[in-house]
Amino acid sequence: MSKYFNPRLASLEAYTPGEQPRDRTYIKLNTNESPYPPSRGVRKALDRQRIDALRLYCDPNATLLKEELAKLYDKKPSEVFVSNGSDDILNFAFLAFGADGILFPDISYGFYEVFANLHGLSYEKVSLKKDFTIDVDDYCKQNKMVVIANPNAPTGLALPVKKIEKLLKANPGHVVLIDEAYVDFGGESCADLVEKYPNLLCVQTFSKSRSMAGARLGFAIGSQELIADLEKIKYSTNPYNVNALTQAAGVAAVQENGYYMRNCRRIIKSRNYTKKELEKLGFEVLPSKANFLFAKTDKVGGRELYLLLKEKGILVRHFQKERIKDFNRITIGSQKEMEAFIDAVKEILGESL
Ligand SMILES: *Cc1c(COP(=O)(O)O)cnc(C)c1O
């Protein structure tokens, strides 16, 4: 740290992204990316003309993209916000709505705590129940902003929309941010509640179900007032935060939504296969509605399994964190990748193939 660094941020602990190693090719089951490529329209959208147009600034309002998203989710464009990945939206939302403090689960997306610290906001980490479920009553009438990933990460457990509605009713004076990064893999979206609850901000991303993690594109759906607040923050930091190539790719991806939803169904099928196979091998596997599984076994420790898999060229995600250190989070890749993963686990456990 230089002597010039803001002393308020001296103890800030930054987020640690999952590894993206370059030393060899891995079967990458560690950062919840899609195993499937972007759709054909995305490829076509990134043509020569688009490249030539890079000399111009992009549309700061991302008008076309908002219109397409509004159509898909049956909203007005003014109820849609787009940003440079959904992390960007979380950052803006914490800054915009977190002044009274923020509640989020103790086991959830690691970035929530980082954003709260970055902006100097008070926060409380609410313990998940013993079975890793969220009890929404813990978040009711606390007079704070609420942030919940649904489905949650890294557990994969999902809440029904009815429970989200309870949260919204109990916290009319504060924003309830529902992070739906994984909703397309079998969860229930609360996007339809936006008209009824002006305190709801529903955040999604193109990184997981839409095969565009590298393009950086996230969006939020909320009341016009909430979206206008986010726009104010965006125009106070970087009006061009979604670049021209990503905007064009995003428009094409929304227009080919069916392709991505088919991929999600394939991933759900492979998820069911992987869960069953792991259970046959004696693993405890949480019931996931996301594109990953959270699993542990008594036969080999969490970190040990992670390391042994890595030696075999398979990357999963291990969190060295008290309540979950026996677990690994396994992204669902292609069916072939999951079969290779199961074979590797069998070898490690000394089971015959
Ligand atoms: C992956 C993820 C994000 C971030 O997604 P980006 O759009 O790539 O920034 C946000 N929230 C959760 C829970 C995630 O898992």
**pLDDT tens-digit readout, 288-325:** 999 999 999 999 999 999 999 999 999 999 999 999 99
pLDDT of 81-112, one tens digit each?
999 999 999 999 999 999 999 999 999 999 99
pLDDT band at residue 169 under the 50/70/90 scheme: very high
Residue to probe by mutation, ligand 1, list 32, 82, 86, 112, most atoms within 8 Å of CB: 86
- In the prediction, which pLDDT does 23 show? 83
Atom of ligand 1 nearest to the CA of 149: 13
pLDDT of 240-277, one tens digit each?
999 999 999 999 999 999 999 999 999 999 999 999 99
- Return the percentage of the chain with pLDDT > 70, whole number: 99
Q: In angstroms, rounded to a whole number, what is the distance separating the alpha carbons of residues 321 and 317?
A: 12
What residue type is assigned to position 215 of the chain? A
Please tell me the distance between residue 86's alpha carbon and the centre of ligand 1 in angstroms: 6
This prediction's pTM: 0.97
What is the CB neighbour count within 10 angstroms for residue 220?
Answer: 30
Tokens 């109990």, located at residue: 170
Please tell me the distance between residue 32's alpha carbon and the centre of ligand 1 in angstroms: 9
Nearest CA to ligand 1 atom 1: 181
Please tell me the distance between residue 208's alpha carbon and the centre of ligand 1 in angstroms: 8
Q: In angstroms, rounded to a whole number, what is the distance separating the alpha carbons of residues 109 and 148?
A: 9
Please tell me the distance between residue 10's alpha carbon and the centre of ligand 1 in angstroms: 25
Nearest CA to ligand 1 atom 15: 181
Work out the average pLDDT over 43-72: 97
Q: List residues near ligand 1 (CB under 6 A).
A: 32, 85-87, 109, 149, 153, 179, 181, 205, 207, 213, 218
Question: In the chain, what is the greatest distance between 2 CA atoms, to the nearest angstrom?
Answer: 60
Residue to probe by mutation, ligand 1, list 207, 212, 219, most atoms within 8 Å of CB: 207
pLDDT band at residue 24 under the 50/70/90 scheme: confident
Please tell me the distance between residue 173's alpha carbon and the centre of ligand 1 in angstroms: 26
What residue type is assigned to position 39 of the chain? S
Please tell me the distance between residue 116's alpha carbon and the centre of ligand 1 in angstroms: 16
Please tell me the distance between residue 181's alpha carbon and the centre of ligand 1 in angstroms: 6
pLDDT of 204-246, one tens digit each?
999 999 999 999 999 999 999 999 999 999 999 999 999 999 9
Nearest CA to ligand 1 atom 2: 181
Task: Tell me how far CA of residue 179 lies from CA of 29, 111, 148, in angstroms.
Answer: 21, 12, 6
- In the prediction, which pLDDT does 36 show? 98
- In the prediction, which pLDDT does 352 show? 56
- In the prediction, which pLDDT does 315 show? 97
- In the prediction, which pLDDT does 18 show? 85
- In the prediction, which pLDDT does 175 show? 98
Beta strands in 139-207, from DSSP E residues, in sequence order: 145-149, 176-179, 200-205
- In the prediction, which pLDDT does 40 show? 97
Q: In angstroms, rounded to a whole number, what is the distance separating the alpha carbons of residues 255 and 109?
A: 29
- In the prediction, which pLDDT does 298 show? 96
Please tell me the distance between residue 347's alpha carbon and the centre of ligand 1 in angstroms: 32
What is the CB neighbour count within 10 angstroms for residue 122?
Answer: 11
pLDDT band at residue 20 under the 50/70/90 scheme: confident
Work out the average pLDDT over 173-187: 98
How does the average pLDDT of the chain come out, rounded? 97
